[in-house]
Structure 1
């Protein structure tokens, strides 16, 4: 609440940007401003991050270092290995478009015990927004990488971006990933953020029908963990059991979720803000690990980062006005900023209505229709 710390002083994970470059993809909905430039993270940045992270990992066996991008594999095996080397006693994961995955990369992922998340939007007809830099469909190159992961027995999760949450396509989407053998599927409705400003309006009723249809498909064949369904189930279980809805962001303190840019700059709470700058807030960073230790930056994040104060005002406004707040938690900084003309203290966003409110309404609708 106001006047008390609202960010945890120890995160549960850190996100590392080994390179800004995304090879060979150029997805139409991508929000990253530097994805066509090859900026590499120097090893001394990773060494600076590793010092506090290794201490956090010693206390938390589940602590995770997430390699994100750009396309992390575009950094190359030798350089990524050098970036990982300073870390000890933590879990590593990588979010990749899988286009660069070959047998050598599979050996690397197994050797370093890296959990793999693949970005693919479903069957071929649902991947029209995922194209290569040369303008060709990206589905084939990603599927070749997935085939190599499967051949080497490497389990993987998946994230799909849905630009048109058509309930008639939900079962086909789910079946594709169930047949693919993913262990977890996350479904993100396309968001207006970063350089992606051309998002189409989505009818709220249609948006709610989509997760309801997904829940139908999952219930008929519950062979994978569907992240969105699980979020609603966890929330419902906590409410019914009279427990806090932690770790959902309605709870306090929030996980600071530090994102470490290729140059050592640290953005809290919202990875999507990395690489952007603003006349009022500068580059959104709390500081740089080459000047200040990451544990200090996390502990002093609120006093060092002016935009976070404005963001809390928006969260409090949502808390006071939104009936879905206990589930949603007050939107995310990047969605507020990019949808509200550079303000962090607005309330309802498109992200709220299509990805949070619609999700809760859709899944509870599924439950009612299948229990009455």
Structure 2
């Protein structure tokens, strides 16, 4: 028998370094949805699991001659590890992977435990930090509260103030905001913008056809209406900050990559490693049914190549061929890509359009019909490309300088607009 095609390389690995959380967000896909596997897992990733995971990542990078890999520290809440365990974890990752390929480290956190000590450590190891924030106090407190019901808002703003300091600013990768259509879209946008983030990422709340998203009041395409209001304001402001969702739609409209698994037909190149060493698919699948993300593999028994070749990932890498008939016939399929894979689930299978189909279609049409005044080039194939590093290169980079000028011009326009409107 001739061997089958080599599996496409994985380039992003999510490490579940701590499987518990200090908040009790009622929209959390880890704790509040169908898959409850967190209950049987250890709270922390042990050094033995971390060592095996790091070796698997290095092995995979070497086998595929990858120029770089990204490792995202996740949870639960990764900062619950504490500074000393975090230091050992980062040092072990660097020791195993850095000799083989460039290692890009990131973290997604609720920010509650972020401190100067943590920031110094993250700066030492060049860890990019994304923080979750759903808007102003009222918006954020709808979901992101402590177990006793108290607000986390002040603690998150304190973390963002730390990340704005000159010593730590380079670490901050952006804000992650989950949409709730009961919140005022412009108030949320203004609250996020006021924190001065390098990027904003809007996420639709996880839902399936079996457990559809709430659509209070506005009904039909409520999520499209909410995001359309933000887009129009962002566009009028001169795009003062990159917004991943809108930039992805603009990129795919020009035939470029989406840079996200939420949209477009980019091939999936991500795998998750749980605290006990189990390989899993994307966390969003936890919202579909119990055991949905499982692969039956662990870092002790299977390589990353085994995971990449698994049938569980095959459909998610099938592009248009893996979509439902309805999606394949849709005129905006190249931009939508069927939406997030988990959002297609219902009646025991994924052969549906996204449960947000009507919203995605309406938003895509609106963005296409209302382009920004001067659209930049499509997203780079590598979305982690660092503008500051390119600007600092001794040889110079005209495209980076042009992007910096565009960004500064947009900021000035937004400020002038605010003054005129005041």
TM-score (structure 1 length as normaliser):
0.81
CA distance 1:274–1:18, shift in 2 (3 Å): farther
**Does 2:305 match 1:301?**
no
SS at match of 1:63: strand
Distance of 1:336 and 1:173 partners within structure 2: 27
Per-residue CA deviations over 1:18-72 (Å, capped at 9, x if unaligned) read 011111x111111213678861112222222223423555744452111111111
* From 132, 138, 148, the counterpart of 1:134: 148
Deviates more, 1:225-234 or 1:39-48: 39-48
Give the 3-state SS of the residue equivalent to 2:233 in structure 1. Answer: helix
Shift of 1:271: 2.0
Question: 1:272 matched to which residue of 2?
Answer: 284
Q: Quick one: distance in 1 between partners of 2:297 and 2:289?
A: 14
Aligned pairs for 1:229-240 within 5 A: 229-238=246-255
Matches within 5 A, 1:318-329: 318-329=326-337
Q: What is the aligned residue count?
A: 349
Counterparts of 2:108 and 2:212, CA distance in 1:
24
- Deviation, 1:81, is 2.6
1:89-108 alpha-carbon deviations (Å, 9 max, x no partner): 31000000000011111111
Matched, 1:27 2:41: no
| Distance in 2 between residues matched to 1:8 and 1:217, nearest whole Å | 43
Structure 1, unpaired ranges of 5+: none
Match of 2:420 in 1: none
What is residue 332 of structure 1 aligned with on the other side? 340
- Spell out, residue by residue over 1:215-271, the C-alpha distance to the aligned partner (whole angstroms, 9 max, x if none): 222221422111111011101122xxxx7778876546x223111111111123x22
Q: Which has the larger radius of gyration?
A: 2
Which of 73, 78, 84 is equivalent to 2:79?
A: 73
CA separation in 2, counterparts of 1:165 and 1:272?
A: 22
* Structure 2: gaps spanning 5 or more residues: 375-422
| SS of alignment partner, residue 295 of structure 2 | coil
Residue number in structure 1 paired with 2:214: 200
**1:116 is the counterpart of 2:125:** no
Q: Distance in 1 between matches of 2:373 and 2:215?
A: 27
Q: Which residue of 2 aligns with 1:107?
A: 120
TM-score (norm 2): 0.72
Asked if structure 2 preserves the Cα contact closer than 8 Å seen for 1:21 and 1:38, the reply is no
Partners of 2:83 and 2:208 in 1: CA distance: 30
- For the 8 Å contact 1:8–1:256, the answer to whether it is kept is no
Residue in 2 aligned with 1:161? Answer: 178
Structure 1 contact 286–305 (Cα < 8 Å) conserved: no
Aligned to 1:172: 187
